[in-house]
Every structure is written in C-alpha cells, then in structure tokens.
Amino acid sequence: MIKPHGSDELNPLFVYDSAENEALHHEAESLPSIVVSSATAANAVMMGAGYFNPLTGYMTKADALSVAREMKTASGLFWPTPVLNLVEDAGDIKAGDRIALRDPNVEENPVLAVMDVEAVEEFSDEEMAMMTQEIYRPAEGEDHIGATTFNSQGKVCLSGPIKVLNFSYFQSEFPDTFRTAVEIRNEIAERGWNKVVAFQTRNPMHLAHEELCHMAMDRLGCDGLVIHMLLGKLKKGDIPAPVRDAAIRKMVELYFPPNSAMVTGYGFDMLYAGPKEAVLHAVFRQNMGATHFIIGRDHAGVGDHYGAFDAQEIFEKEVPADALDIEIFKADHTAWSKKLNKVVMMCEAPDHEKDDFVLLSGTKVREMLVQGISPPKEFSRPEVAEILIQYYQSLDAA
C-alpha cells in the first residue's frame, strides 16, 4: 500500500487507549481551556484521524509563514496550507502551559483535545495579509468566503502538540459515513485493493460525476474507488450531508459492481482555497491510502474566483515532483454527448458545439427538483433525483 505522507507509518493523534483517553478527559477538567474556532476544531479532527500525517500539532508562526510562502515548514516538510490554532486573545495562556481545547460545534463545548503549548505568537497585519493572499488569492476588495473565515479567527497563534480525545460531531451524526484515514486504509487492505482512486465531493453526484469515476477507474486500471464526502461546514444553500450521503449510496448500490466503490466521509470545513486546497486534498488522500486522486474543473473553488484548471496546474507549476507519492487524474468537465449517446469529457469531443451536450445550470436543476421534476436521464439517475426531489419539497413544505 502507498506510504503516508512524511512517514513510513500513519501516526494519528487520536488517543485510542481507553484508559489514557479517560485520564486525559479527567485531567482536562482542571486545565485552562479555550473554545476554539470551527476551523481549529476541524484541524484537530483531521490530525486525530490521521489525515494530516505527519503533523503532531498546530504550527508555529514560522512554520505557517513558510508554508504560506513556499508550501513547506521551516524544517522542510512539504505542506500546502497552514494548520493553525488562531485566537483573538490568549489571555493568561503562555508557553509551557497544558490546556484543553473545547469544541465550538457541540452543545456545552466538550473537550476535543489536550494541547501542550510551545509558543504563543501574534501575526502582524502584514503577515495575515500575506498568508491570506498566498492561500486564497483574493482580488483586492473581494468578499472571499474562505479569506473572510480565515481572518475572523484572530491573529494570535497557539502552537504545539495535541492529543485528540474525540471526533467532534462527525462520528455521532454520521456513524455510517465518517471514517478516519486509519479506518479507510484498513478497509482498502481488507477489500484487497491495490490501485485506488479517490473522488472528492461536497455535492450529490449526477450522472457526469458517476461516469467520471468509471472513466478514471478504467483508464488507471484501479480496482477500487473511494468516494470521500466533506461532512463539515459548507456555504449557505449547499445540500446537507445526510441527503448527499443517501443519494450517493443509492447510485453506488445500483450502478457500481460489488466491491468496487466505498462511500465515506471526513470531518473538515471547506477552505474554498482552490489550488492550495486541492494540494491539501491530495495529501490527506495519500494518507488514507489512495494511489490516485481525481481533480476536475474548479476543484475546491467558490464562484468563478479561480481559473477552471488552476487546481490541476498547481501540481505542475508549484508542487515539487517528489513531494507526494499520490498521482493526479486530471479531468475536464463531463457531460452527456447527444452525438455519441454517452458521457464524455468535453475536451475529448473537439467536434462538438455547446448545444451538442446536455448542460444544465445548478440553478435550473434546483428549480426542477423543487417543482418535483426529475432532470433528464442524460443528466441525473432517476433514483438519485427522487431523493433530491424529496429533500427540496420537504424544504418547501416547511
């Protein structure tokens, strides 16, 4: 199986030993504590689950600045985006303290992790601006949801190793879907897969997405597909994870051979960082055992902020050739060809005009679903559409 990033073995930061976990929970009750941001909590979950291997905790100021500028830590580890614990005010917390990190997304803010604080540092306005520009690449004056979220957390950086005690709400709310990198690696081994392609989604999968996965598996000679859903915070209007989950599972059940695809999810908030986030996605897909990763048009984008293929080009232009072992499967927009009577990548149909494809905007699809109208079979599987129709009509009834 493919090695994890940065080490020979996966080193998740979750405390699996029940006695140690209980002892840390007990200790945490008497420790100074802070309720962290949702982004900081998501970072803890990803480190606990092994997705952010080989990180051992939150980055220092020096590491974060180096990662933002050069995609590597001060010690030279390749990493695409800073992994930080940012706060508005550290209060009395100082280097050498042991503190409890409390979950902002669960009622009563239970302890999520215990942290040994190695440094308390503050970013200047100029340093925050530099990181924002390097990570999100917003235009001047642009309201970029990822950049806004990043800058809303504060400028004080608490760095140091953590021990993760639970997986926030992800394990309880999505017990059939949330999986750690450890669990996915184990299941890949149990299924006997050797070449595995991962597909990232934060939306339901229509026919074009389904066929793209089949294309990637066939062309790469893969024996397994991991459909990996984002279960964390999205933007307003996105379809909730349970609905996406039901739609995707129905598609896999009906249209994929047995033991060829697994439906899983991970606990993270979208960064909307486009190319840099695509590289982060590749890192943690390698950590979960995938050998290949599909990156299509506008991966991890928001609106039309990034170029259609920026998330593919970054691997050629900015990621060192030896930085990652996982390989990227570059995909163009896929759609049903009226000429060929099948789904094709649009770049592979040079003799086609726009009208030769079945293309529907997201707005048009939503309008149809709200009205109880199933999109054409060339766009969406009817069984998938029915699940989405029920969801949209339940909103209308409420």
The string of pLDDT tens digits covering residues 290-322 is 999 999 988 887 777 888 889 999 999 999 999
Write down the pLDDT at residue 297.
84
Predicted local confidence at residue 395, as pLDDT: 81
CB 174 within 8 A of CB 241: yes
Instruction: Give the pLDDT band of residue 397 (cuts 50, 70, 90).
Output: low
Dist CA 214 CA 139 (whole Å): 37
- Is the pLDDT confidence value at 65 over 80? yes
- Three-state DSSP class for 131? helix
Q: How far apart are the first and last CA of the chain?
A: 48
C-beta atoms surrounding 254 within 10 Å? 11
- In this predicted structure, the answer to whether residue 122 has a pLDDT above a threshold of 90 is yes
Residue-wise burial string across 276-299, b where 16 or more C-beta atoms lie within 10 A, e elsewhere: bbbbbbbbbbbbbbbbbbbbbbbb
Neighbours of 371 (CB within 10 A): 11
Query: 312, 330 in Cβ contact below 8 A?
Result: yes
> What average pLDDT does range 164-180 have in this prediction?
94
Question: Whose structure tokens read 């925050």?
Answer: 128
Complete edge-to-edge strand list for the sheet that includes strand 327-330:
261-266, 224-230, 196-201, 292-295, 327-330
pLDDT value for 235? 64
Instruction: Answer yes or no: 137 catalytic.
Output: no
pLDDT for residue 110: 97
For residue 278, pLDDT over 90 is answered with yes
Nearest of 69, 68, 59, 80 to residue 5 by alpha carbon: 80
Lowest mean pLDDT among 124-133, 193-202, 238-247: 238-247
| Cα–Cα distance measured from residue 50 to residue 48, given in angstroms and rounded to the nearest whole number | 6
pTM greater than the 0.85 cutoff:
yes
* Percent of the chain whose pLDDT exceeds 70: 98
pLDDT at 327: 97
Task: Please give, one letter per residue, the 3-state secondary structure of 319-343.
Answer: CCCCCCCCEEEECCCEEEECCCCEE
Nearest Cα neighbor of 124 from 95, 97, 156 is 156
User: What ranges make up the beta strands (E) of 46-155?
Assistant: 57-58, 86-87, 98-102, 111-116, 119-122
CB 266 within 8 A of CB 49: yes
Lowest mean pLDDT among 71-85, 220-234, 274-288: 220-234
Q: Which residue has the higher pLDDT, 61 or 140?
A: 61
Q: Is the pLDDT of residue 396 over 80?
A: no
Give the per-residue pLDDT at 142. Answer: 77
Q: What is the DSSP letter of 78?
A: B
**pLDDT single digits (tens) 208-261:** 999 999 999 999 999 999 999 998 766 667 788 889 999 999 999 999 999 999
| Mean pLDDT score of the chain | 94
Is the backbone peptide bond immediately before 54 cis, with ω within 30 degrees of 0?
Answer: yes
Q: Poorest-confidence range of 31-35, 67-71, 173-177, 258-262?
A: 173-177
Residue 238 bridge partners (DSSP): none
Catalytic, out of 202, 259, 285, 297: 202
**For 108, what's the count of Cα atoms within 13 Å in the CB-facing half-sphere?**
1
Mean predicted confidence (pLDDT) in 157-175: 95
More confident residue, 54 or 362: 54
Residue 71: count of CB within 10 angstroms of its CB: 20
* Residue 198 and residue 230 in contact, taking contact as beta carbons nearer than 8 Å: no
- Choosing from 109, 151, 194, 203, which is the catalytic residue? 203
Q: Which two tokens stand for residue 74?
A: 């001060």
pLDDT of residue 290: 98
Asked about 203 being catalytic, the answer comes back as yes
Which pLDDT score, from 0 to 100, does residue 93 have? 97
Contact 259, 230 (CB under 8 A): no
SS3 (DSSP) at 317? helix
pLDDT for 300: 83
Q: Which domains does the chain have, with CATH numbers?
A: 18-168 (3.10.400.10), 172-397 (3.40.50.620)
Query: Rg of the chain over CA atoms, in angstroms?
Result: 21
Yes or no: say if 191 and 94 are a contact pair by the CB < 8 Å rule. Answer: no
pLDDT at 178: 95
User: What residue type is 112 in one-letter code?
Assistant: L
User: SS3 of 367, please?
Assistant: helix
Q: Is the pLDDT of residue 398 over 60?
A: no
Amino acid at position 299, single letter: H
Predicted confidence (pLDDT) at residue 113 exceeds the cutoff of 60: yes
CB 185 within 8 A of CB 290: no
